[in-house]
Amino acid sequence: MKCIAISLVFFAISFNGLSTQITDTIYINSGVIQSFNGSNIPFKSYNNTAVFEKSNAILSYSVTDTVTLTVINNDSVAHQLRCYGLGVSAGAIAPGNQVDLSISSDSPGTFIYYDQEDYPNNKILGLAGMIVFRNSSASSFYWNLKEIDTLWVDEIINNGLTSTEYNPKFFLINGNHNPNINNDPMARVIGNVGDTILIHVANTGSSTHSIHFHGYHLELLQSSEHSNHQGRIKDTFPINPMQVLTLRMVPHQPGEYPVHDHNLVAVTGANIYPNGMFLTMLIDP
């Protein structure tokens, strides 16, 4: 991939097409997330601050700008950061240490960054996020799909390995389950009839998901696994682990319409429906 300048911009910052030098920082933090039924689950995240957050930082760039990304390890063990599909990788970052990375792309798309240290254990514990390169002023929304098997988490923390069959009970988008997903402005699609809306999807879990839209058909702009599918227009989009999609929607009718995983177990949480990957889109006239 030819490298040119990009810039780091976040949700709701409009694309301006101007080259800018950006320096930014993310932190590797360790903490606990709480499921809707009160379960406390050990978790690790790449965050925008030194304070632990359950959602990994979503990094959104313009393809015309340049970013230097500093990665600081606040955890008690070594970690890495690799940008899957971009050829960018930082070796082991010792506790309390940091590295600087230069990341660039000459084309728009959705990518995954994750921890390659002790892979896939640290990724299973949460360390995987999304990088997006944009060349459009269209509204963008971001869905980081991740499920959690609490038995696997316990085994990794206590034994450093997994021995049981994968059986996740909690299914999250940007660290949230239904109904809290609709409170995330980066996830919940809000727009108007006729808008061009981009939805960036990364599956950083270990299960296959199949995202189904009610009310609209969308165009597949990017599939990291099936490039020959690009350009197809449909309402359901399967996505395997560690793969990404970029979708384009131009709403033709107003209303509030659901989006959910067609792998219906992923719409549950602790086997209770609909406490999983389920949200609604709100389109005004």
Q: Where are the domains of the chain?
A: 7-284
**Cα dihedral: 137, 141, 144, 145 (round 10):** -130
What is the layout of strands, in order, in the sheet containing 170-173? 170-173, 139-148, 197-203, 243-249, 218-223, 233-234
Rounded Cα–Cα distance for residues 120 and 115 (Å): 8
Nearest residue to 15 (alpha-carbon basis) of 64, 82, 83? 64
pLDDT tens digits along 172-183: 999 999 999 999
Rg (CA), the chain: 18
Q: What is the mean pLDDT of the chain?
A: 92
pLDDT tens digits along 198-213: 999 999 999 999 999 9
Kindly report the pTM of this predicted structure: 0.92
> Quick one: CATH architecture of 7-284?
Sandwich (2.60)
Query: Do 277 and 174 meet the contact criterion of CB atoms below 8 Å apart?
Result: no
Residue 18's pLDDT is 63
Express as a percent the part of the chain with pLDDT over 90. Answer: 85
Residue 60 has pLDDT above 50, yes or no: yes
Torsions phi, psi for 272 (to 5 deg): -110, 125
pLDDT tens digits along 159-168: 999 999 999 9
- Among 64-68, 104-108, 127-131, the range scoring the smallest mean pLDDT is 64-68
The arithmetic mean of pLDDT across residues 111-129, rounded, is 97
Residue 240 has pLDDT above 70, yes or no: yes
Residue 9 has pLDDT above 70, yes or no: no
